[in-house]
Structure 1
Amino acid sequence: MVQVAIIGLGPVGGSLGLALQEMAAGKGRRTPKAGANGRLPLLVVGYDPEPRVAGEALSRRAVGRVAYSLKEAVEEAGLVIIAQSGPAVRDTLQDIAPLLKPEAIVTDTSSNKVEVLRWAEELLPPEVSFVGGHPVLLPDREVNWESGLQAARADLFQGAIYCIIPGPRASSQAVDTVQDLAYLVGAEPFFLDALEHDGLLAGLNHLPYLLAAAMLATIGASAAWRDLKLLADPAFRHLQQLLSARPADFYQTCFSNRQPLLSWLDRLLAVLGEMRRELAGEEGGGEYLRRIVEKARAAGADWQARRDERLKELEALGAQIPSARQSLLSLFLPYGGRRREERD
């Protein structure tokens, strides 16, 4: 029996659990060949700091068993998924380090990878492999983070890009396992460097969040806020959604990724400075604003077209790796699947 432990049963951890539970029951879209009884020998054990949430996860069948301590969750697990963010990831790595069995595989789902990989290197035993992970959802998959486990859904990762950043001590077996995990929950694995990942996410994810926070805080502090609320149109709602689409403590994630974020902020401030100069002057007639808007529209159109093209490329690569793909199971069991080296 393969045991997978999920620590943190919010929208991400709960959705991973639901997807793996469907796979175990032989119902997943990418489920490997099941046993004689139609099920896979997979046990999903869930732990959450709030026992009530863990009980809820069991009721929703997001986990097959609830653990009421980290020790109970990880001591027999071949794969441990830390579905938390910010400093909570470090705390969990520190707490589980002495509890893991030899050659266990640990991964996470947080959006900062340089920091998390450093923590894993410092805290985990040398015989344990750490492979960083970060699922990036499809643009139309909106998550109500405030709803916690209630926002979890088995198909949350369908079509997602699952960033995979192996730690320096990660075995090829561990990398295969996390790659196959991504594939099995419906995502497309995408390998990249930790520094590259954090730099890209700073611009795409963290910068818009901080910009929305600054704008909403500024508008909300206005003496005219009472009337402004009445005049807010759908554009204002989209601005608010940039905040609500992230967990309440997401500012900590931004702060821990501050070096690449500072670079993006500097570039944004330079553009805003040019805008201000044109608005304050009498010359130009809005020419700079026009060029910026045109560039923004072109970038948006290019993103939509090229993302779909890139996703098809990744799907084609995934199709070249046969059946998950028994390998997630074969890494822990003496049968099924083939190693990546043998498949290539």
Structure 2
Amino acid sequence: MSDSRRYRIGFVGLGLIGGSLALALKKAGFAASITAWDIDSSVLGRAGDLGVIDSAADSIAALMQSVDIAVLAAPTQACESLILEMLKSPGGTICVTDVASVKGDLYRAVAASAPEAAALYVPGHPIAGSERSGVTAADAGLFEGHRVILTPDTNADPQALGLVQQLWTAAGATVQCMDVDEHDRVLAATSHLPHVLAYALVDALAKSPIRDDIFRFAAGGFRDFTRIASSDPVMWRDIALANRDALLAAMDDFCTHLDALRTSIADRDGVALERRFRSAKTARDEFARDLAMRDSGTI
């Protein structure tokens, strides 16, 4: 390691999140160097041209031999095999983390197949992103003011956990620890379900016989609600399948509420309809107020 404040950081996979984290750590002075490996060598070439990385590794094993902190930032479907390969060739790495949106499968795979290295692994998930994708969309400010959830095992090495916390703090994020299963349930409701709903709404309207008029006259509310339907379909397909059980539970709960609203409308029950609308408005207003207070540093 270079010194007590700057670390050699390695990335396995390099898209929007990995590239943004690399830039943020460079900007903060936390990174002494950034090395990356990606299955697509052209990604590494672009990242080098953009100044996102300093060097490219020929293999995961070579990368693990040359870095202090290794970050897995690959597509969800590839994460399980990659995290095991990383942990089975740790080299001199102090800790390994990731940015995957679903933690349960990774956590269980590591516990089953690489228990001897599990203490070095601190799962992480930044609650930040964009409908854009790829390293060319990397943004050094992407994590500023956002939360990062860590889901460490109770036997996680304290040095590894502390270093991952420092990494995300350097990137401008607020770090919070959470149980693995709770993380997957919470993200199913707050992130994965909204994406499914946005995709479903746009897909349904696009197949309507009056689609041209629908999209011609759609205003700000439609644009704001459906923005995330421009996200990478392959990435969200993988996330939905990886968090299948928690997402299905969230979808079932939502469908129950939607059915209740439909019944109120069908029955011309304005009282029940307004009651649900007022309840939702109150909850949303409270959320917006709390968010504003967090952003201002009041809480």
Normalised by the length of structure 1, the TM-score is 0.78
2:121 equivalent to 1:130: yes
Query: Which of the residues 293, 301, 311 maps onto 2:285?
Result: 301
2:39 equivalent to 1:9: no
Map 1:206-221 to 2 at 5 A.
Answer: 206-221=192-207
Corresponding residue for residue 95 of structure 1: 85
Corresponding residue for residue 226 of structure 2: 240
Q: Is the contact between residue 21 and residue 64 of structure 1 (CA under 8 Å) also seen in structure 2?
A: no
Q: Gaps (5+ residues) in structure 2? A: none
Q: Gaps (5+ residues) in structure 1? A: 25-30, 32-39, 317-344
Q: Distance in 1 between matches of 2:73 and 2:233?
A: 13
Which SS does the other structure have where 1:249 is aligned?
A: helix
Query: Which of the residues 145, 155, 172 maps onto 2:132?
Result: 145
2:261 equivalent to 1:275: yes
RMSD (Å), alpha carbons: 2.3
Which SS does the other structure have where 2:145 is aligned?
A: coil
1:244 Cα deviation from its structure 2 partner:
2.0
Divergent runs of 4+, >6 A: none
Count of aligned positions = 293
Q: Is the contact between residue 80 and residue 105 of structure 2 (CA under 8 Å) also seen in structure 1?
A: no
Corresponding residue for residue 231 of structure 1: 217
1:69 Cα deviation from its structure 2 partner:
2.2
State the AA in 2 paired with 1:132. Answer: P
Q: Is the contact between residue 97 and residue 125 of structure 1 (CA under 8 Å) also seen in structure 2?
A: no
Which SS does the other structure have where 1:145 is aligned?
A: coil
| Structure 1 residues 77 and 125: alpha-carbon distance in aligned structure 2, compared to 1, 3 A threshold | farther
Query: Which of the residues 55, 66, 73 maps onto 1:76?
Result: 66
Q: Is the contact between residue 104 and residue 181 of structure 2 (CA under 8 Å) also seen in structure 1?
A: yes
Corresponding residue for residue 180 of structure 1: 166
Normalised by the length of structure 2, the TM-score is 0.89
1:92 Cα deviation from its structure 2 partner:
1.0
Q: Distance in 2 between matches of 1:109 and 1:99?
A: 20
1:168 Cα deviation from its structure 2 partner:
4.3
**Identical amino acids, percent of aligned pairs:** 27
State the AA in 2 paired with 1:143. Answer: S
Q: Is the contact between residue 93 and residue 123 of structure 1 (CA under 8 Å) also seen in structure 2?
A: no
Q: Is the contact between residue 87 and residue 117 of structure 2 (CA under 8 Å) also seen in structure 1?
A: no
